Amino acid sequence: MRLAQYIALTGLCSRRAASRLIRDGRVSLGERLANHTDRVELIQTPAGKQASLSVCVDGEPMPPIADKAYWILNKAVGTDCRLLAEDTTSLLHLLPAQPRLYPVGRLDKDSRGLLLLTNDGELTQKLMHPSFAHHKRYHVRLDRPFDDDFVVQMAAGVSYKDVTTLPCRVTRLGPDSFEIILTQGLNRQIRRMSQALGYHVIDLKRVAIESLTLGDLPEGEMRELTEQEIAMLRR
């Protein structure tokens, strides 16, 4: 297994952060400093986990590979999805110390709703990569009522800055609210699409990622996924 992948799988940090640790000379492999091309041999521990006896970060031996964990959070407005310890509004302060979880994508600080959290890098990559075209469903309220032309234009794709969004599904929920299902994940996409058409988003809530929904999970609370939910996501 590649060294950075192993460090990430222990739950210490992301693979990208693990690569930075190696670059900065903080990772050793046996008696020498590690490099990016190193691979590690894994052994089975008495507890039945996989580990390497030779990898240390800042002189401390790495723990075994962490068990996969899958949670959802009903994120409230004001929570920042960046994992910054110095930011009191950071999602980091809501997460358990172990297992170390990472958000699959982000919700803007001023948005709310479903956030998937996991340490499964393979699943994260498949859910995030645009080639897989996974559906994410949002409920949106605007600053004023809109007409049917707005629905048609949003669904057809909207141009702003140097991008044109892909066609998507848009359904009216009320005079000033709608549901939108995206397969893209552009930065602040729904807000910028609405703004390009002359409207301002005042409430944006993600209610589903593929088959995964919030159900009756209270805002600000999190829970583990059921085995059935995990299996459906993997499929």
Note the pLDDT tens digit of each residue in 141-196: 999 999 999 999 999 999 998 999 999 999 999 999 999 999 988 889 999 999 99
CATH for the 70-130+211-234 domain, from 3.30.70.580, 1.10.760.10, 3.20.20.120, 3.40.50.720: 3.30.70.580
**Two tokens at 68?**
């996969």
Nearest-angstrom CA–CA distance, 153 and 146: 11
Q: Domain 135-209 sits in which CATH superfamily?
A: Alpha-L RNA-binding motif (3.30.70.1560)
Q: Which of 88, 82, 77, 86 is nearest to 102 (CA)?
A: 82
CATH number of 3-61, picked from 2.60.40.1250, 3.30.450.20, 1.10.3210.10, 3.10.290.10? 3.10.290.10
Q: What is the pTM of this model?
A: 0.81
- Across 155-164, b (16+ Cβ under 10 Å) vs e yields beebeeeeee
Longest CA pairwise span in the chain (Å)? 69
Give yes or no for a contact between 116 and 109, defined as CB atoms under 8 angstroms apart: no
Counted residue by residue, the chain has a size of 235
pLDDT in tens, 24-73: 999 999 889 999 999 998 888 888 888 888 999 999 998 888 888 999 99
Phi, psi of 37 (to 5 degrees): -90, 0
Give CA–CA dist 46/49, Å, rounded: 7
Q: How far is CA 164 from the centre of its chain?
A: 23
Q: Which of 96, 27, 37 is nearest to 66 (CA)?
A: 96
The residues that are catalytic are 108
pLDDT band (50, 70, 90) for residue 216:
very high
